[in-house]
Amino acid sequence: MLTDYLFTYYALFIMLGGILILTIHDVFLNRRMIRCLRIATFLILALSLSDTLEKYYAEFDHVTVWRYIFSSLSYTIRPTIMVLIIFMVHRTIRFVVILPAVINMFLAFSWPFTDVVFYFNKKNVFVRGPLAYTAYVISAIYLLYLLILSIKFVSEDSYEESQILFFIALAAIGAALFGIWLPDTETVVNYTFGADVLLYYLYTYFQFTKRDALTGLYNRQTYYNGIRRYEQDVLGVISIDMNNLKWLNDTYGHDAGDQGLVALSECIKNELSFGDKAYRIGGDEFVIFCRNSSGDIEQISAKIRSSVTQKGYSCALGYTSEGTISQMIKEADRLMYEDKARIKKQMKLDGRMPVRD
């Protein structure tokens, strides 16, 4: 049995072992994501072992309690893995999302009291009860939830995330259909779960290469790619520079400077319209590509400046909606530096904090 198990799931072990090694050395993902990945990995391994042991006890000519236990475990683990995938995607999760998996677990382990899910006859033959497909139905509900999330991400202009979620859901749907209509397809289902977890991990890791680690905005490399990608779509450009960052770092320490940059980035995120892209392209420099409506660019800039001021910081802005994307970037930059010089001059006249950047 052990030899067959190792041979059947050899590639799965390599895949899941690789995920565990990556999570040990990962410096990008947060603790919650790493914890979910590790739990999902161990659950997939547990599912493969449970399915193998259930098949082993199925060869007996009499019913054993172990076959009941491993069958119940397999029924329980599959929807639980779906919950973890949703948790990795959704960032936050409510109890109502977990509830179907909890109900399924109680039903799966109800065999000492009732035969509503499954039972084994005297010849050790598996017999489905009226609620035998509960685990599959609940998994289907979770898959539908993933598809709804993918549509939600499209509405938020997160096309890449919507595509990856759709692909994960499609793969899981195929595995679920195999499990319902074809016998002895547990291996396919388990491999699919493993592939889904690995796929989402790689996607998430890839996202960190595109974003600034401190602010969560897109980074400089993505900015250059955006210039090429959105060349025909950008209707306006806003250039932003945080004032007094060097003064903050020198006076209160770099943590204070980082807090200021995060506060500024949050103000930017709060004012973005559908399709707009925000980038941190330098230490205190930010750029917004407005792709929705150039008519709102002045209002967006004013709101950002007001929000930053309310948080106790200051920023210089320049914006324009005329010319090609390259021309708009240059003009917005020029106007931003003019605004910065004006603010510095006014601060010195008012006798406020020294400006040394």
pTM score:
0.68
Report residue 44 as tokens. Answer: 């997939």
All domains of the chain in start order, with CATH: 2-208 (1.20.1070), 220-350 (3.30.70.270)
Distance of alpha carbon 284 from alpha carbon 269, whole angstroms: 16
Would you state the pLDDT for residue 355?
Answer: 43
Distance of alpha carbon 325 from alpha carbon 303, whole angstroms: 23
Count the neighbouring beta carbons within 10 Å of the beta carbon of residue 299: 11
Residue 336 near residue 317, CB atoms below 8 Å? yes
Q: Could you tell me which of 282, 153, 160, 298 has the C-alpha nearest to residue 235?
A: 298
**Torsion on CA atoms 165, 168, 169, 175, rounded to nearest 10:** 180
pLDDT digit string, tens, across residues 26-47: 767 778 778 888 898 899 899 9
Distance of alpha carbon 167 from alpha carbon 206, whole angstroms: 16
Residue 347 near residue 353, CB atoms below 8 Å? yes
Where b means 16+ CB within 10 Å and e means fewer, 176-206 reads: bebbeeeeebbeebbbbbbbbbbebbebbee
Report residue 139 as tokens. Answer: 């998994």
Residue 317 has what DSSP assignment? Answer: E
Q: How far is CA 127 from the centre of its chain?
A: 40
Q: Give 265's contacts (C-beta < 8 A, 6+ positions apart).
A: 214, 215, 216, 217, 278, 280, 286
Count the neighbouring beta carbons within 10 Å of the beta carbon of residue 248: 23
Q: Could you tell me which of 46, 36, 51, 60 has the C-alpha nearest to residue 4?
A: 51
Alpha carbon distance, N-terminus to C-terminus of the chain: 70
Distance of alpha carbon 96 from alpha carbon 149, whole angstroms: 16
pLDDT digit string, tens, across residues 205-260: 777 788 888 898 999 999 999 999 888 889 999 999 999 898 889 889 999 999 99
Residue 145 near residue 100, CB atoms below 8 Å? no
Distance of alpha carbon 289 from alpha carbon 268, whole angstroms: 12
CA torsion through residues 23, 25, 30, 35, sign: positive
pLDDT along the chain (357 residues), means of 10: 81 87 78 84 91 91 93 91 79 79 93 92 91 83 75 59 72 69 67 76 76 89 91 92 90 92 94 88 93 78 94 94 94 95 81 52
Would you state the pLDDT for residue 36?
Answer: 84
Residue 219 near residue 212, CB atoms below 8 Å? yes
**Torsion on CA atoms 29, 31, 34, 38, rounded to nearest 10:** 170
Please give the full DSSP string across 133-173, using - where no structure is assigned.
THHHHHHHHHHHHHHHHHHHHHHTT-HHHHHHHHHHHHHHH
Instruction: Using DSSP, state whether 258 is helix, strand or coil.
Output: helix
Distance of alpha carbon 71 from alpha carbon 48, whole angstroms: 12
Q: Which residues does residue 236 pair with via DSSP β-bridges, in sequence order?
A: 290
Q: Which residues does residue 120 pair with via DSSP β-bridges, in sequence order?
A: 126
